[in-house]
Structure formats: structure tokens, C-alpha cells
Amino acid sequence: MANTVENGRGKKRYKRLLANFFGLPGEVLLDLPRLVMLGNSRLVVENHRGLLEYTEETVRIKTAQGGEIRVTGQGLNLLYMVKEELGLAGRFLRIDLPGGEE
Amino acid sequence: MYRWLLDFYHGFLVVMAQGKRLEAFLNSAVAKGVYLWGIRRPAPGRLLFRVRVKDFPGLRSSFRRCGCRGKILHRSGLPFLLRRLLQNKGRWLGLLFFIAAVQILASFIWVVGVAVGDGALPGEPRIREELREIGVRPGALRGKIKKAHERILEELAIAFPEAAWINVELRGVVVLVTIVGKTPPPAKEEGPADIVAAKEGLVSEVIVLEGTPLVKPGDMVTPGDLLILGEKVLPRREGGFISQPVRAEGIVRARVWYEKRVEEPLAVWQPVRNQRETVVYSLRWRDRIFPFYRRGRVSGKVLWERHTKRIYRGRNQVNLVELIKDIYSEVSWEKVRVSPEEALAKARREAARELSSLLPETATVKNRREEWEDGGGFLLYRLVVETLEDIAQPAVAFREQQEERPDQSPNQNQSQNESQSQNQSQNKKQNQETTTEDGARQAVCI
């Protein structure tokens, strides 16, 4: 188990080194989510893995490697949703990116 | 915008999903590559979203797997709109009826317009009557008129031989008939006539085609002087001479002098614009002008300029709607000196312009003399042009009128002749007049 974790961390480290060395985008190589915000009313999340929770106050978005983005606000609604991307609108009060995301 | 047009073109559904695992349903649908938009949570356990029509069948397995139920609330887009239109037969019938009515009404002639041009032509009622007989009348079939266009033109030409040009134009439901009459050439004047001088000049050449010349080269004549007498003197068989009235014809070339004097000021008052101006924008429709914007304010003397821009020409190609920009600039008048050279050039132009209207086309300029002097604040310019031209001009012989009034006594006739001769400054011999059997007027020289 420890080996697996170590191996996983090692793989990720190599990927990061590779991305840094060649100047490649992190979201492609490291499977990181890409967030684009327009003020505090529009949010586009790319490279997501689906929704965990969707209410008018809270939207939880699953990301790769067990990560989660939590958006808290008022009158939240999904503008559109496709496999790789979703658009969110409303009045954002808080966006949490748990420690898993780098 | 593009996305919305595409969705409208393909048609989309507004769907309400109900269940507990709605997030799982969304993830499942998206994983299948379905595009969802307008996703809202109106209430707990309910989800509203939009999806394209072709993607909806693929959502059934997702509904089933997540334990949700889906219900179509609304169908929108072009396919549904067309289906609704096709289902409503009454509307289609109404549309067809409308198109048919327009088509039928447009196949008839409604108005016959007649435009009569210059020339000796009968009045408009007569032309309308003729057109009605030919078949050009309100209510006639448009196609029939179109087919019979040549025949109509021919029949009109026969009916109105005095017409020089006939046109029958079909403009929609209007037939416009234009007829222009012939303009006959001026009738050739006949009867005895003399030739008199039209202008003052020095005779240089006399060519007599008919009549008796009364002047010779070197004579000075004034306007009205008799040049060629409208009489031909023939010897009589019995002795003596017989004078027969004729229409005098001939060419009398003379040197004619034209003089033109021009006074050109050496100082003029000119308006000089200030910076202040008022600009007024107006819209003209037909004869009415509607000002709608004004900028600036001026007082005192102003210079007015107008610029127009056509907006709409109208059906008849007249400027129906125009944008007008009026500029009122404040001006102050200043005295500006004009150089003698400039004044001379201006005077030359002015004199030449005025003389050009006096000189006949057939005149040949032989000599040109100009002189100028400073006349105290003015430049006095004088231009003299000498030309060689034909000054012969026919004049009706007044004796003809005497014959038409035989009730007048010979004394009266003679006195009238004398007075007219005086008016024309003619020096004629006094002849004793007799009348022959055939009515021709004869005179025997004593």
C-alpha cells in the first residue's frame, strides 16, 4: 500500500517535472481542473468529473484524483454541462479548493 | 447567438426530472455526450433542463439507472413550429386565399393614365374614348394588354395621325399612355416683301437673288433702311416699264461694330466669416421642412449656406426625402482692394460674356479693339468688335395691305405708304399705281 502511494506520488512528481521542463499545460498532463471566473457571477470549470451536489446555495464539483470544488453562494444555477466543461452562474460567496488540489 | 440558432433549428425540449439522485442523473447524461443547458433546481427533488430532441431518447437509460422520472414540459424550435403550422389547415387556406386574391386583383388594369404632350392633338377625353374602343380601360386583363401592345400602338397611330410619338407603358396595374403631337415646321412666308437692314453697318457686299438693290458696297446703313426693294422692273411690250412686286431675296454683308463698356470697381466690400456659426439640421419631405437639431447662436449679419443630402429618391426619381444642413455664419464686411490686373481680367470676362450673346453665330470677327483707364476708384473698360455679317432681314411690303383694303382712297393709301416708308427710313421713288385685269399690282414709271 505504501509502495502504491509512493509510486503514485512519484509518478505525479515526474509528470510535474516533465510539464515544467517542456512548458506543457498542467491541466492536460496532471489532470488538474481549470477554473475561469468572470467577476463573482460566472464560473467555468473545465476538466471536471461530475457533480456531487447541486442546490441553489451549494454546488460541489468532483475533480480528478478524488478532489472537490465547493462553490457557495446565492441563486446558483448551471448554465450548461458537457463532459469536459460546465458553466455556473449566480452570486458566489465562497469557493473552496480542498488541499487535494495543487 | 449561433448556439441559440442551432438549438432552435434542431428543436429542443424543456424537461423536468424528478427523483433523489438527480446529480447522478446529470453525470450519467453528460457521460453519454449529451449537451444539457438551462439546468435549474426549482424545488428539492426536481430538476429542469433543456436538451436537444435527438438526445432525449438516450436519456431514458439514465433516468432508469438513477431512479428518476422525466417529463417533457415544453417543445420548442423550428420542427415543432412547422408541425404546428402544417396542422392548422384554416391558416393555410387563408394564406392561399390571400395570395390568390392578390394575384387575381393584380391581373387586371385598374388605372389608365393619359399624358398628352405638346403639339396639335385632340383633348384627353377623346384619347380616352379611343383607348376604350381599342380595349385599354379599367377592368381589362393585364396579360391581354401586354400581348396586344404592338396592336394598341398601331391602332393609336392610325387614330391619331397628328401624333409624332406614342407610348403605352404597363406599370403594375396602371397603363400609362403618352402621346406627343407633331410640331409642324414654320410655314414659309410668301408674298411680296422687301429686305431691310437689321443692324447699323457699312455695306461691303450685296448679292441680290430677287428684287431691286437699293444699296451698294460702301454705303452706310442704319436699322430699318431698305436694302433690296421687293419689286422687279420689267420692260413692257407697248413701251415703258412694268413694276412687278416680288419677295426680295439676297445677302447683304456689312461691317458691323459692337461696343461694350464695363466699369469695374477697384475696391469691393466682402463678407469675412467669424468663428461663430449656427448649424441647423432639417429633414425635407416633399415641400415641408422639419428642423430637428440646432447648434450655436449668431446675431447680426450672417452668411447662409445650405448643403443637402438625398436620402430617398422616391418612385418617380425625385428627391422625396432630403437631409438639409444650413450653416449661418456670422460675418463682418470688409473693404478689399482689387488690383488693376484683376479688375481688368474681370472686366474683359464680363464684356466678352455680354458681347457673346449679341454676336450672331454666322458673324465673322474681323477686328477687336480694347482700351481701359483708371476712372477714380473704377476701371473703365471699352471693347469694340468689328464683324462681317449678313444684315439682310425680310420686311413685309406694306403695299400688300392696301390691296386687301380697296375701300380706302388712293390718297389714304399713299399717305399710309409714306408714313410707313418714313418709319423704315426708306427713300423710295413715288410711283403712280395702276391695277391690271388679273389683279396684279403694277406701277408705271413716269
Q: A46 and A14: one domain? A: no
Residues B181, B117 contacting (CB under 8 angstroms): yes
Residues A57 and A46 in one domain: yes
B344 within domain boundaries: no
**One domain, residues B8 and B79:** yes
Residues A26 and A41 in one domain: no
Residue B412 lies in a domain: no
Chain B residues whose CB is inside 8 A of the A54 CB are: 22-23, 26, 39, 41, 47
Q: Which domain-ending residue is among B337, B369, B386?
A: B337
Separation between Cα atoms, residue B290 and residue A13, nearest integer Å = 78
CB pairs A-B closer than 8 Å: 47
Instruction: Kindly determine whether residue B36 and residue A52, on different chains, have CB atoms separated by under 8 Å.
Output: no
- Cell output for B110: 385598374
Q: How far apart are CA A82 and CA A84, in angstroms?
A: 6
* ipTM, interface predicted TM-score of the complex: 0.79
Choosing among B22, B34, B40, B50, which should be mutated to test the A contact, i.e. which has the most A CBs within 10 A?
B40
Q: Are residues A84 and A64 in the same domain?
A: yes
End-of-domain residue from the set B121, B147, B181: B181
Do A54 and B44 lie within an 8 Å CB cutoff? no
Q: Which residues of B touch A53 (CB under 8 A)?
A: 23
Per-residue pLDDT of chain B (446 residues; tens, 9 = 90+): 678 899 999 999 999 999 989 999 999 999 999 999 999 998 889 999 999 999 999 999 999 999 999 999 999 999 999 888 888 888 889 999 999 999 999 999 999 999 888 777 788 888 999 999 989 999 999 999 989 999 999 999 999 888 889 999 988 899 999 998 888 777 777 788 889 999 999 999 999 998 889 999 999 999 989 999 988 888 888 888 888 888 899 999 999 999 999 999 999 888 888 888 999 999 988 888 999 999 988 888 888 999 998 887 766 666 678 899 999 999 888 888 888 899 999 999 999 999 888 888 888 999 999 999 988 889 999 999 999 999 998 886 444 444 554 444 444 444 444 444 444 434 333 333 333 333 333 333 32
In Å, how far is B34's CA from the nearest CA of chain A?
Answer: 7
B-chain CB neighbours of A52 within 8 Å are 23
What is the b/e burial string over A32-59, where b = at least 16 CB atoms within 10 angstroms of the residue's CB? bbebeeeeeeebebebbbbbbebebeeb
Q: What is the pLDDT of residue B333?
A: 86
A100 and A57 share one domain: yes
* Same-domain pairing of A36 and A2: no
B443: how many CB neighbours lie within 10 A of its CB?
19
Provide the pLDDT for residue B287.
83
- Strands (E) across B338-431 are located at 364-374, 378-390, 392-396
C-alpha cell at B83: 408541425
Q: What is the dihedral of CA B59, B64, B67, B68, to 10 degrees?
A: 40
B31 and B78 within one domain = yes
What pLDDT is stored for residue A7 in this prediction? Answer: 52
In tens, the pLDDT along A58-91 reads: 999 998 878 899 999 999 999 999 998 999 999 9
A50–B39 C-beta distance less than 8 A: no
Residue B285's CB: how many other CB atoms inside 10 A? Answer: 13
- The answer to the question of residue B257 being in a domain is no
User: Pseudo-torsion of CA B111, B117, B123, B125, nearest 10°?
Assistant: 0
Write out the residue range of the structural domain in which residue B125 sits: 111-181
CATH number of the CATH domain containing A63 = 2.60.40.2000
Q: What are B305's three cell numbers?
A: 449656406
For residue B242, what is its C-alpha cell?
A: 412694268
DSSP H or E segment with residue B133: helix B124-134
Q: Which residues pair with B288 in a beta bridge?
A: B285
- Shortest distance, CA B80 to any CA of chain A (angstroms): 23
Q: Euclidean distance between the first and final Cα of chain B, in Å? A: 114
Note the pLDDT of residue B108. 93
Chain B residues touching chain A at CB-CB below 8 Å: 22-23, 26-27, 30-31, 33, 35-41, 44, 47
CB contact under 8 A, B31 and A83: yes
> Containing H/E element for A54?
strand A51-54
End residue of a domain, out of B320, B337, B354: B337
Residue written as cell 433546481? Answer: B41
Quick one: A26 and A37 in the same domain?
Answer: no
Read off the pTM.
Answer: 0.40
In degrees, rounded to 5, the angle at the alpha carbon of residue B302 between the alpha carbons of residues B281 and B273 is 100
How distant is the Cα of A99 from the closest Cα of chain B, in angstroms? 24
Q: Note the pLDDT of residue B316.
A: 62
Residues in chain A, overall count = 102
Nearest residue of A to residue B37 by CA position? A80
Q: Which of A52, A54, A81 comes nearest B30 by C-beta?
A: A81
Write down the pLDDT at residue B437. Answer: 36
Q: Which of B33, B37, B38 sits opposite A83 (nearest CB)?
A: B33
Tell me whether residue B229 is in a domain. Answer: no
Q: Is residue B347 part of a domain?
A: no
A1 lies in which domain range?
Answer: 1-30
**C-beta of residue A87 within 8 angstroms of C-beta of residue A43:** yes
Neighbours of B254 (CB within 10 A): 26
pLDDT at res. B1 = 62
If one counts every other C-beta atom within 10 angstroms of the C-beta of residue B153, the result is 15
Give the pLDDT score at B430: 36
Q: Which residues of B touch A77 (CB under 8 A)?
A: 39-41
* Yes or no, beta carbons of B39 and A53 under 8 Å apart: no
Nearest partner of B342 among B437, B266, B280, B417, judged by Cα: B266
Continuous segment of H or E residues that includes residue B304: strand B302-312
A80 and A42 belong to one structural domain: yes
Partners of B27 on chain A (C-beta within 8 Å) are 50-51
Q: What is the pLDDT of residue B274?
A: 81
Structural domains counted in chain A: 2
For residues A20 and A64, membership in a common domain is answered with no
Contact yes or no for B41 and A81 at CB 8 A: no
Task: Tally Cβ neighbours within 10 Å of residue B252.
Answer: 27
One domain, residues A26 and A67: no
Given this model, what pLDDT does residue B4 score?
85
Residues A50, A96 within the same domain = yes
pLDDT digits (tens, 9 = 90+) for A8-67: 566 777 777 777 777 777 666 667 888 999 998 999 999 899 999 999 999 999 988 788
Task: Count structural domains, chain B.
Answer: 3
CB B25 within 8 A of CB B49: no
Residue B79 within any structural domain of the chain: yes
What residues of B are in contact with residue A89 (Cβ under 8 Å)?
A: none
Please choose, from the candidates B296, B282, B358, the residue with its C-alpha nearest in 3D space to the C-alpha of residue B326.
B282
Candidates B34, B37, B46, B62: best to mutate against A (most CBs of A within 10 A) is B37
The domain that contains B176 carries what CATH number? 3.10.20
- What is the model's pLDDT at position B91? 84
